[in-house]
Structure 1
Amino acid sequence: MSCVFIIFDQLLAKKEIFKMNYWWVNQGKNHKNEREKGYLWAPKTNKIGHKIEAYELLNSAKVGDLVICYSDKYIKSIGFVVKEAITATRPSIKAYDQWNEEGYYLKLNYFDMDKQIERNEIPLNWRINEGGPFNATGELKMRYFHPISEDFFKKVYYKFSNNFSEDLKKILGEKMKFTEISNDKTVIKHIYNYICNKGFYYLIDDVANLLLSIKAKPFVIFSGISGTGKTKMIQWFAESLGANEINGQLAIIPVRPDWNDGSDLLGYVDIKGEFKEGPLTKVIRQATDNSNDPYFVLLDEMNLARVEHYFSDILSIMESRKWKDGKLTSSPLLSQDITNFKEDLYLPSNVYVIGTVNMDETTHPFSKKVLDRANTIEFNRVELSNFSFLEDLEETEPMPISNQVLESKYLHLKDVYKEYKDLVKKTTMVLEEINNELRITNAHVGYRVRDEICFYLAYNESGDLMEYEQALDYCILQKILPRISGSDSRIETLLKGLYRIFTQRELDDNQEDLNLIDTKNALYPQSTRKVIEMLGRLRVDGFTSFWV
């Protein structure tokens, strides 16, 4: 057992409250020697006998405190204080020769990082706001030992949790109650708690669905009646993961009815021949420079203009994504000949586009081209009298995460087929049965929809999030049903055929009030309810579609 575990057990067993402090040490070339022998050392005075505050602070470190050990541009280790500072003579290391003989000796237990963290990977605004070891421009001060805030360390840990060794994660998880946020279940629970703390109610499965949808394809459409919190849901989702408008990781772009082409989003060349950046281009450039951070773009009321007109370039580039040297890349989105940037602009894998839509007389419908490329999530559930979720809420702070948590692992069916062959075959059989009905109106789905549904289901299975049928129910509701609209008898035949597949029984033609049909025992209850809703509108209005 590590001596750190023993120390924590002893501290936690005491009656008084144990409060850990956090420190940053700039070790420079001394890191290797100090790490090997498990200590920090600093002289009591400089050559002219003056005390130095940064060295005196070694005396303030207590047993159990955590120290970020920094050297040569990288965080290389995390140390835990196992014995408080004592007076000790200078270690016999050449680098110490310039110092006085007597100094402070602090005993540490070192744990190396699995992957060292470069200083500049830590967001600049975090460094500037923290102060401590950083100056007003976010650069390191030339001082030895600094206190840092718990909040700063937590943000670093949550953002770079994959860089920490398993031993470190065990200590931080078991003894310090730090929750690792690198698996989907933990991420979903955190997002759900964060949104509840904001006074909004959604099912935790809805949060899981949004996360899976984003992982399956970085383009999601949010639909639903006005006032259900579509925009807020996305805003809190992003903010819970450390992305907000202040740090630039969340951009809310209101769509205007007069947008006719991609220049309103990407930019244009003015009469002087100078390129004027659009709002999306600014986000993409920042995301490219910070590839470890997720960036969310919210296109608010995105169908006020025709999506096919102003968003087609981005949709095409999304489909061009490919693997290159183990990383996701795309075709150029903007050529440097147009922008005068140093290089072509590509769509990075850490940008996620989410659009909110309303369907009324002021908006435009979506073509199958757009619907094929997105998950369409509908939010119409309203429970005004539900206050139970507001009871016993624990304060939840944002947890910055690495883009690795959201980034897609699959681009082609062969990627997922290697790991989930049975799942792919099972899903394809269901989709073929659904396609037999969709062919009645030429609305059947192609390879792209099949592949992205399989990606979604693979992520669901690897994260152990939902039962297979529940996850497939979400996929059918989001990827297939939005394609259906019309007014003739073929639509009714199609919807009745889907009802039969979803419930494993025929629809009773004598059922006058379709809302009385019990869907609890249906194989795909959400999709069944939607089909019933669409059939009801067809009977009443003579026309139906997915959209309310």
Structure 2
Amino acid sequence: MLAESMTDLAAQIVAASDPVSRRLVIRVRQPLNGIGEWLAASAVSVAAPVGDVRVFRDSASLADALAVNGAEQWAGRDGELRLLACLQAGDIVIASEDGGEVHAVGVVRGAYRHSAADSRHAVDVSWWTDTLPQRIHAPPGWRYQEICEARREILQSLMMEGRRIEALPEPPFGEIVSRVAAAGMRLPETIVRRYHVALRTRGFVVLAGVSGTGKTWLAELYAKAVGARHLVVPVAPNWTANEDLLGYLNPLDGAFHATAFTLFLEGAAREHREAKEQGRAPIRYHLILDEMNLARPEHYFAKFLSAMELRSRSADGEAAVELAPGRSVPLPSNLAFVGTVNVDETTHGFADKVYDRAQLVELGIPREALVAHLGDRPHAVRLMAVWDAVSGVAPFAYRVLDDVTAYVETSAELGVRWQEALDEQVLQKVLPKLKGNDGRVGEALARLAESCGDDLPMSRARVRTMFDGFQAHGFASFF
């Protein structure tokens, strides 16, 4: 069962009968901008002028590298970097001060990563800031800044009543734009502004665009930028009822089987209620339905469409959704919904009542943004020529650009020329998207046949075969 809060997580581990496998990590030193930087980034992140920590065979070699790079502030702290590099998904991380005061507890969600661009070392963490003790009461012999088994006595201390962290103040809009851009996302400021205003005024936004334009990425980056907790829920094509999203009541044992979506809703409602009781601003929650039109939203999202309409008309900005007979959850004002949709032949259209209750923001694919994204890489001009030929019927965006770039760079490590690697990628990533009986497909194939020269022999041969098939049968297919 997914823990709803840090307290629930601690309680589950304390009550577990099996040996506890999670490890507990204490991070003593905070980042320069305070723990809020980690909470906003959903990570533990530090900057140190040294490469990937995993390549150093021991602490001494890492310490020598730090010394060579003039990192005096890291003297004697190489153990912190080595600790960060060996974290694993499921490890429990505690962010505290030197005196032991706990600010947040989280669970590691991904492996260590290193960015050569800014010498940053990080791991992704899902943070909880609720029900924190003033100090952690560690048993004798247990030290901060070490990895150890998650002992029950330590976790029991996390279940004590204590202070709560208030919601981080929302940064100015210009700062939000800067944070989104700093993560590497290239979007016109007007798109970010439209999304920002739509969330504040309606609370339900649909982000539309072709696959790979960064819809889910924008929703996640924005949530991090404003200090909101967020959850991404992938929608499955076989969802046909509210129970697929909300969970169900088992008629045999009378138990309600919740989903991650439901638990997140209840967490938002609980935070709103407790913030109101304590006279503080609630932490914001953003619930992201990824590819929400793979199934028909009117089927699995029907209860929410009605509840959101009621919420928009209520005096306190709240409404409730029935999860099962006798069990409901409020939709508080600190909860926002975001849906991402692809518009292609594999998805469903929206009924008017969905558009009536949402704000629609479309993410386009500006050519200049793609050019800037590729930069001065050797294959950039050639790849954009392919994009120019097919963008009218089979556009591709940042995800494909990144995949192609990764493939070309990895191939270069094996001595493969970038032209040969790009040829393979056009064949493997672009041409399968060209299909159908639309006359524009034939025109795109004709343009691509002219664009693919001697440097892309495999792609040129397949394009000619596809074009011949289109002329003969009026239909194009990669296979």
Using structure 1 for the length normalisation, give the TM-score.
0.37
Using structure 2 for the length normalisation, give the TM-score.
0.42
Larger-Rg structure:
1
